[in-house]
Amino acid sequence: MSPKIKSSRKIARYSLLIMGAGYIATTPFLGSLPLDLLHGGFEAGLVGGLADWFAVTALFRHPLGIPIPHTALLPNNRKRMTHALVSMLKNDWLSKESIQDKVKNIPFTEKLIPVIVKETQSDTFRKVLIKLIKQMICYIDIEKITPFVAKKIKGSLSNIDMSKLLHAVSSQLVNEEFDKKALDHVLKKAEDWLRQKETGHRLGTVSMDVLSKIELEGMLQFAVKSIQSLLNEEKLGNIIQNLLLSVVNNLKNEKEPNREALILYIRKEIQGINDNRELLQGVEKWKEQLLTKWEPEATITGGLQQIQQEALEFVEGEHFMDAYLTPIIQRVLDNMKENSTSIDQWIQKQITALIENNHTQIGNLVQENLDKLDNETLIDMMENGVGKDLQWIRVNGAVCGFIIGIILTGIQALLTLL
């Protein structure tokens, strides 16, 4: 029991004792008007105090433990009272309409944004947020998402249009003058090969073998035989070697028409790559075979694990919060401010729907909590709530009775004199 209730009970008890003591003390001295007035006042105050004590006590329990009818009103009518209390709470004080009307006037975003801003500036919030992000990164199961990533990569590669790819390649080759570079490379390799000593011998051997197999008629056959008799393999090889070197040197000349014609031919072939059906079919077939045999899971798993580890290290970085998270949070808050009306309406709508669907739970919750209390606990709680005022009723009853008793005794004395 609270100290205030104990104090008010003492005052009520003392007031009743004073009235009783005054009544007893003035009884032997009746006969004089002042004492008669006091005696009448104490008598009425005692009656009033006892009556109010009985009334107040009868609300909560049987006075003096005697089961007098129509006493202990609260315990005897508990079910009806709790039902009335729950009904009043649910239908009057916390009705759906009153809650919904109150909710409609609450600026949620206006109240929420300053709280978020304040929290984001605290070290505790920063540590918790970073810890949460790290946990989310660690929760990612790399082995489970690897097949999905592999499937997507294979699907993307399979859908590549090779004709467009070849067109892009050919355009890049032309832009980089690959035709000239390719020709110069081939000429450089040809020159290196032709300048080797054994190259002349090989050319001579091949040429003599070809001449010996040629079958001609008349003078042409005679001319060929004459060449064979005049030249040996070494001489013929040197002649052909020098001839080919001369051709290579001429093709190296930027102003040589044959070089320009050859470069133009190479360029046309490069530009026509994407129109070459056989090439496209071959490339497509090669692509499908490569994708069929390709097993990227191990590589993808390793790559994702490395990304996961780097992401954790990145989040733990000193500037991660200020450089990345804080701007994101600020943009979110700015967006909330710009759309505060819509956000408030959405929150109000959700709360309204929640109240609509669960309003009966308010009464059920109060009823369940009341049902858990025994009579003594419930009475004690009610006395703690309103007991102080009830005890003052007893005091007021004694005081008012005392005053009224004096008045009535005075009137009686006045009537006796008349």
Counting the structural domains of the chain, the total is 2
Instruction: Identify the band that residue 132 occupies on the pLDDT scale cut at 50, 70 and 90.
Output: very high
The pLDDT of 76-80, averaged and rounded, is 67
Indicate whether 354 belongs to any domain: no
Distances (CA, A) of 414 to 76, 129, 417: 47, 87, 5
% of the chain at pLDDT higher than 70: 72
Last residue of a domain, one of 290, 315, 346: 290
Q: Report the distance separating Cα 269 and Cα 275, nearest Å.
A: 10
Amino acid making up residue 140: I
The pLDDT of 46-58, averaged and rounded, is 70
Candidate from 94-103, 160-169, 220-229 with smallest mean pLDDT? 220-229
Secondary structure (3-state) at 61? coil
- Range with the largest mean pLDDT of 190-199, 223-232, 273-282: 190-199
Last residue of a domain, one of 290, 314, 344: 290
Q: What are the DSSP calls for 82-130, one per residue?
A: HHHHHHHIIIIIT-HHHHHHHHHT--HHHHHHHHHHHHHTSHHHHHHHH
Buried b (16+ CB within 10 A) or exposed e, 132-146: ebeeeeeeeebeeeb
Distances (CA, A) of 210 to 35, 196, 224, 238, 395: 166, 22, 11, 16, 144
Indicate whether 213 belongs to any domain: yes
pLDDT in tens, 310-366: 999 998 887 888 888 888 888 988 898 888 888 888 888 888 787 777 766 666 666
Indicate whether 394 belongs to any domain: yes
Q: How deeply is 407 buried, as exposed, middle or buried, from its count of CB atoms within 10 A (0-12, 13-18, 19+)?
A: middle
**What's the predicted TM-score (pTM) here?**
0.48
Indicate whether 153 belongs to any domain: no
296 against 370, higher pLDDT = 296
Alpha-carbon torsion, ordered 179, 183, 186, 191, to 10 deg: -160
Region for 72 from its dihedrals, namely left if φ exceeds 0, alpha if ψ lies in -120 to 50, beta otherwise: left
Per the structure block, which two tokens stand in for 221?
């056959």
Give the model's pLDDT for residue 372.
66
Q: Report the distance separating Cα 98 and Cα 352, nearest Å.
A: 11
Indicate whether 390 belongs to any domain: yes
Indicate whether 35 belongs to any domain: yes
Indicate whether 117 belongs to any domain: no
Amino acid making up residue 234: E
Q: Report the distance separating Cα 133 and Cα 138, nearest Å.
A: 9
Last residue of a domain, one of 290, 321, 336: 290
% of the chain at pLDDT higher than 90: 5
269 against 153, higher pLDDT = 153
CA atoms in the 13 A half-sphere facing the CB of 204:
17
284 and 400 share a domain?
A: no
Indicate whether 116 belongs to any domain: no
285 and 178 share a domain?
A: yes
Task: Show Cβ contacts of residue 47 under 8 Å, excluding neighbours closer than 6 positions.
Answer: 401, 405
Residue span of the structural domain in which 201 resides = 162-290
